[in-house]
Chain A
Amino acid sequence: MRKTLDFIVEKIIFICGIASIIFVVLIFSFLFKEGLSFFKDFGVLNFIGGRFWYPSSDPASFGILPLIVGSVFVTIGACAIAVPIGIMTALFISEIVPKGIRDILKSLVELMAAIPSVVVGFVGMITLVSLVKNIFNLPTGLTAFSGSIMLAFMAVPTIVTISEDAIRSVPWQYKQGALALGATKWQTIRRIVLKAAMPGIIAAVMLGIGRVIGETMAVMMITGNAAHIPHSIFEPVRTMTAAIAAEMGETVRGGMHYKSLFAIGLVLFLITFLINFIADLFLGKSKNT
């Protein structure tokens, strides 16, 4: 009796464990199938290198370069803002703030992560967009820059929580060892704490970037959604995610436009995969030294 129970539980756990792998494989193969048939009709180079995204004109043009550039602009902008702020906040919470305030701060930051992205988007649309417009004297505040700020706001909690955990799990003995050798607090933080916590911090940053690239709602509401190649960060852009979300409803199932959106999904998937892969390389490296 106990043996059968054991057997059943083991199998259930096995099925649960393998389910996630199966789902990933299924999603990937589905994207791949739809995307590939699109590539056969339109050509990979035309797709990725094409400068014009006119999916519904005649003849239609499915060049996603504007969307890729849009995503890249917004992502880089968001990282440039979120990574330094996130890591410093994590350091501040784990190393500088007294214990009582630390817990309050940390739960506030975690609360920040729980705000739905639509809400972030619409608060940003009302407050940030006009602010950006006035400060930089632009024709419109719906720009890649506004999107970057908003996404940074959404990535910061992820970066803070995970790197704070990493920083706090640095053994006190390391710090003690460095301090006992006459290092100052800042020297200890920079050379010992940050170094020992680096794998965790890199993982945090990568997860933050993942969140930024994949984010759709807020970005769609704030970046202006213009599918043209921007010349600066102060112009409206459309990201890949926003294109999929905005256009999926208007397409004919099985048509070229429909398939092209799957192809965008495939490109997105590959980009995230690449980022994860690079992160793993870094993590592996720092584990060996």
Chain B
Amino acid sequence: MVDKIKIENLSCYYNKKCVLDSLDLNVVENEILGVIGPANSGKTTFLRTINRMNDFDVTYSRKGNVYLDGDDIFDIDAENLRRRVGTLFAMPIPLPMSIYDNITYAPKRLGLVAKKSDLDGMVERVLKYASLWDEVKDRLDASAMKMSGGQQQRLCIARVLAINPEVILFDEPCSGLDPISTAKVEELMIELKEKYTIVLVTNNVKQASRVSDRTAFFLMGKLIEVDKTGKLFVSPKEKETEDYITGRFG
């Protein structure tokens, strides 16, 4: 059990308003850490701090430390960090280009792959991994905007895999998907944890219970409880957790 990400006493603010309060949490290598909690609980802020997407928000400020493999993430180049920590957003947003270019965009920019033949192989590999290859292999040059929502989300997963990150953050990855696509994405996440470390933020409590190894419950910017998923859902230590997972509030 190696800690991949270690968060120490992290507090985050928008316009000085505290949205995440002295968080201590660790993410273990090759696990899926589920993060659940009602709206305004700080889940998304938590994710956007780990991949430093919040750097773009001028009203945002923070205290505390986050380490990735022992490196302070605020000392690493933001671009470099985002290469190591891939993100999947709630809304699947393909870039406005072809399916093929969507996948090769980042590796090309980052200089990960040089030769055309390597690119082809990489595209096939990640599309197969995201179980999308069979559906799109004949139309790789078609615009990614014309795919269905579920396909777009899987394309986004393939796109993240193409930069070969160490950690993948899923930000409510199934909120816009039908049950069948959701099942596919969940299956995929379980496959992916063999190679990657995954943080799954979700509004869907059941999804967390199906997929994650450990689950953390956030409420009003505070971490209420984190434990093995089986334990947290069967015998939560805190009353708030119990109320939330049984649907009594939130």
Are A180 and B87 in contact, CB atoms less than 8 angstroms apart? yes
- Say yes or no: is B69 at the interface (Cβ < 8 Å to chain A): no
- Report yes or no: B89 in contact with A182, Cβ–Cβ below 8 A: no
**Chain A residues positioned under 8 Å from B97 (CB to CB):** 195, 289
CA distance A155 to B93 in the complex (A): 35
B51 within 8 A of A: yes
Asked if A283 is at the interface (CB within 8 A of a chain B CB), the reply is no
Smallest distance from the beta carbon of B164 to chain A beta carbons, Å?
11
In the complex, whether B16 has a CB less than 8 A from a CB of chain A is no
Q: Give the contact-size bracket for chain A.
A: 20 to 34
Indicate if the CB atoms of A192 and B89 lie closer than 8 Å: no
CB contacts under 8 Å to A, within B69-116, are 79-80, 82-83, 86-87, 89, 91, 93-98, 105-106, 109-110
Which one, A10-18, A141-149, A169-177, is touching chain B? A169-177
Is A191 a contact of B109 with CB atoms below 8 Å? yes
Q: Which residue of A lies closest to B141 (CB)?
A: A289
Is A24 engaged at the interface, CB distance under 8 Å to the other chain? no
Q: In the assembled complex, which residues on chain A have CB atoms less than 8 Å from the CB atom of B143?
A: 289
B53 in contact (CB, < 8 A): yes
Q: Does B163 count as interface, using CB distance less than 8 angstroms? A: yes
With known contacts A173-B89, A176-B93, A177-B95, A183–B51 Cβ distance under 8 A: no
Contacts A174-B96, A176-B53, A195-B96; is A181 near B91 (CB within 8 Å)?
no
**A178 in contact (CB, < 8 A):** yes
Contact of B106 among A176, A182, A195 (CB under 8 A): A182
| Contact A181–B86 (Cβ < 8 Å) | yes
Please tell me if the beta carbons of A183 and B109 are within 8 angstroms of each other in the complex. Answer: yes
Please tell me if the beta carbons of A182 and B82 are within 8 angstroms of each other in the complex: yes
When the two chains form their complex, are residues A181 and B53 in contact, meaning their CB atoms are under 8 A apart?
A: no
A179 to B105, CA, bound (A): 11
**Contact (Cβ within 8 A) B82 A180:** yes
A179 to B159 alpha-carbon distance, docked (Å): 13
Closest to A182 in B: B83
Q: How far is the CA of A171 from the CA of B91 in the complex (A)?
A: 12
Cα of A181 to Cα of B84 in the assembled complex, Å: 9
Annotate B26-65 by CB proximity to A: 1 below 8 A, 0 otherwise. Answer: 0000000000000000000000000101001010000000
Given A176-B53, A289-B143, also A183-B96 (CB < 8 A): no
- Which residues of A are found within 8 Å of B93, using beta-carbon distances? 171, 173-174, 176-177
- Nearest B residue (CB) for A286: B96
**What chain B residues lie within 8 Å of A180 (beta carbons)?**
51, 53, 82, 86-87, 89
Chain B residues within 8 Å of chain A by Cβ, number = 27
Q: How many A-B residue pairs have CB under 8 A?
A: 64
> Does B160 make an interface contact (CB < 8 A)?
yes
Cβ–Cβ < 8 Å partners of B83 in chain A: 181-182
- The answer to whether the Cβ of A139 comes within 8 Å of any Cβ in the partner chain is no
Cα-based distance from A81 to B96 in the complex (angstroms): 30
Distance, CA A182 to CA B82, complexed state (A): 5
Which of B58, B79, B89, B163 is most buried by chain A, counting CB atoms within 10 A of its CB? B79
Could you tell me the distance between the alpha carbons of A191 and B86 in the complex, rounded to whole angstroms?
Answer: 19
A contact residues around B89 at 8 Å (CB): 173, 176-177, 180
**Docked complex Cα distance between A205 and B143 (Å):** 26
Residues of B within 8 A of A128 (CB): none
> A179–B82 Cα gap in the complex (Å)?
8
A11→B146 CA distance, assembly (Å): 39
Which residues in window 152-197 of A have CB below 8 A to B? 171, 173-174, 176-184, 187, 191-192, 195-196
Residue from A177, A187, A192, A289 whose CB has the most chain B CB atoms within 10 Å: A177
| Closest chain A residue, CB of each to CB of B169 | A180
* In the complex, residue of chain A having the shortest beta-carbon distance to the beta carbon of B112: A182
> B-side interface residues toward A, CB under 8 Å?
51, 53, 56, 58, 79-80, 82-83, 86-87, 89, 91, 93-98, 105-106, 109-110, 143, 156, 159-160, 163
Would you mind naming 9 contact pairs between A and B with Cβ atoms under 8 Å apart? A177-B93, A177-B95, A178-B105, A180-B87, A180-B89, A181-B86, A184-B109, A187-B109, A289-B97
A174-B96, A180-B51 known; 13 other A-B pairs, CB under 8 Å?
A: A99-B58, A173-B89, A174-B93, A174-B95, A176-B89, A177-B89, A177-B93, A181-B106, A181-B109, A182-B79, A183-B110, A192-B96, A195-B97
